[in-house]
Amino acid sequence: MSDILENSESQKRQYIDAETVFAELRRVKQEAAQFRGGMMWREISGHRYLIRTSVKGAHKSLGPESEATSKIFEAFSQRKAALAERLASIAKTFEEQRRMNRALRVGRVPSLVVDVLNVLDKAGLSEHFTVVGTHALYAYESACGVRFVPQAMATRDIDLLFDTRKHLAFFSRMKESEMSLLGLLRKADKSFERLENQKETARNATGFEIDVIRRVAKDGDPHPLRMSDDEDDIWAVQASTGERILSSPRFSQMVVSTTGEMTLMNTMHPLDFVDVKVALARYPNRDPLKRSKDALQAELVATLVRDYMPQYARLRSPERVDEPEESGGGDFPH
C-alpha cells in the first residue's frame, strides 16, 4: 500500500469550495477590523464635531462639521454597514462549509490543534508563530489533496516556533490584551497547565502538549524569554534548528479538523522541512524511534514535492543543520 493516499474527488472539491469561503471570510474580517468602533457627531461650545470612537472608549476629533467631515461620516457609515451585512452572509456560508467538511470527512487535523491556531489568530498573534514538526505535514498534505499514512502522523504534542525578530510587536500586543500565552491556550482548552520542570511546555488533561521554542538568542533577542509579564506564563526554550526554520520561506495553508473547523497553518517551506528532518534522522544521539519517523517524514514530503508540488522544487545544496542537544518532548530537539 502506498504511503501517500489520494483523497476522493468529492473531498477535493469540497476542500476547494471551503478554502474559497475561508479566504473570503478572512478578507472581510480583516477589512471590518478597520471599522471597529464608530463615528458620531458631538456638540462642543456651540459647534458640531465629528468624533471617531474606539472599542475601548477612546475619542478622537476629526474636525468641525463641514462638507469634508460629512463625506467622511457618510462613507464610514455606509462601508461599516455593508461589511456587517457581508460578514453575516459569509459567516452563514462558512458554517455550511464546516458541516460539509465534517460530512465528507475532509479534515483530520486534531480539533484541539485547530482551536489553538484559531485562538492565536483571533488574538492577532498567528504571524508570530510557525508550526514545526509532525503537525506541519497536515499543511503539506492539505495543499495536495492527499493523506499520509498514520505512522507518519503519530504525535501527542505540537511545537510552535516563536519569531524573536518581532518580539517588540508581540509583547506590545500581549500587554494591550492583558493576556498571557497560557491564558490564550486555555481559551482552546481550559485544562492547559505549564509544566514546572519544563517551563516551555503546556499540557492539558489528556496529556497533549504544546512546546514553545525559539532560535538561539542573537542580535538583541530577549533571553531568557517569558511569553508575557505573567510570572506563571510559558517560557520559550532555545532550539538549534530555530534560525534555519525562521530563514525558510513561509508555507501557509488552510487545514481542516475532524469536526470540519478550518484554520490557517503557517509552517516552513516543504524542502526545508525535508532538510531538517534528514539531518535529525542522521544524529547518532537521536532517539531511535524518532529517528525512523524523521526519515519517513522526510521521504514522504520529498515525494510530495516531486509528484504534487513541483513549483516548490528548487536547485540548491542542503544546508548543514547543527546537531542539537536532546531535551523536551517535541519533534524538534530543544
Instruction: Please tell me whether residues 126 and 266 are part of one structural domain.
Output: yes
What residues make up the domain containing 280?
Answer: 107-312
Residues 194-245 have pLDDT tens digits of 999 999 999 999 999 999 999 999 988 999 999 999 999 999 999 988 999 9
Amino acid 6 reads E
Instruction: Please tell me whether residues 170 and 261 are part of one structural domain.
Output: yes
Q: Pick 316 or 211 by higher pLDDT.
A: 211
Percent of the chain with pLDDT over 70: 94
| pLDDT at residue 301 in the model | 96
Q: How many domains does the chain have?
A: 2
Residue 71 is assigned to a structural domain of this protein: yes
Residues 6+ apart with CB under 8 A from 285: 323, 326
Give CA–CA dist 73/50, Å, rounded: 8
Residues 6+ apart with CB under 8 A from 21: 90, 93, 94, 97
The band of 177, judged by pLDDT with boundaries at 50, 70 and 90, is confident
Which of 86, 103, 120 is the endpoint of a domain? Answer: 103
The band of 304, judged by pLDDT with boundaries at 50, 70 and 90, is very high
Listed residue (131, 100, 127, 95) closest to 113, CA to CA: 131
Instruction: Please tell me whether residues 82 and 113 are part of one structural domain.
Output: no
315 pLDDT higher than 70: no
Q: Pick 314 or 143 by higher pLDDT.
A: 143
Instruction: Please tell me whether residues 91 and 162 are part of one structural domain.
Output: no
Cα dihedral sign, 87-97-20-257: positive
Cα dihedral sign, 179-241-250-294: negative
Q: Is the overall model pTM greater than 0.85, yes or no?
A: yes
Residue 53 is assigned to a structural domain of this protein: yes
294 pLDDT higher than 90: yes
Instruction: Please tell me whether residues 92 and 117 are part of one structural domain.
Output: no
